[in-house]
Amino acid sequence: MAEIQELLDELRGLPSSSPRTARELAETVGRVKSAAGRWSDVLDDVRRWSAAHAGPRAAAALEIAFRKAEECFVELEIAHQDLKLTGEQR
């Protein structure tokens, strides 16, 4: 799956040092949010494939993993929007 390699490359490209400003933090959270969205897409594909090839426990676990990834993306979206608003107010 090329998507996984692209996701790994995206994660490796994140800064290894702490953000020095609110703007840098917002940019980093935006990049993490993007990666989280891609991860959610990968899990959605795997979840759909499981319908034909997995037992009920594996399918249920993959469904839960997908839902948690979606929730993570939503929380990162909230944080990103708040950080952008906070940065604009400063």
pLDDT of 89 strictly over 70: no
Which of 3-12, 39-48, 74-83 has the lowest average pLDDT?
Answer: 3-12
Binned at pLDDT 50, 70 and 90, residue 45 comes out as: very high
- Judged against a pLDDT cut of 80, whether residue 88 lies above it is answered with no
Tens of pLDDT, residue by residue over 50-64, are 988 999 999 999 999
pLDDT of 80 over the 70 cut: yes
Give the 3-state secondary structure of 3-72: HHHHHHHHHHCCCCCCCCCHHHHHHHHHHHHHHHHHHHHHHHHHHHHHHHHCCHHHHHHHHHHHHHHHHH
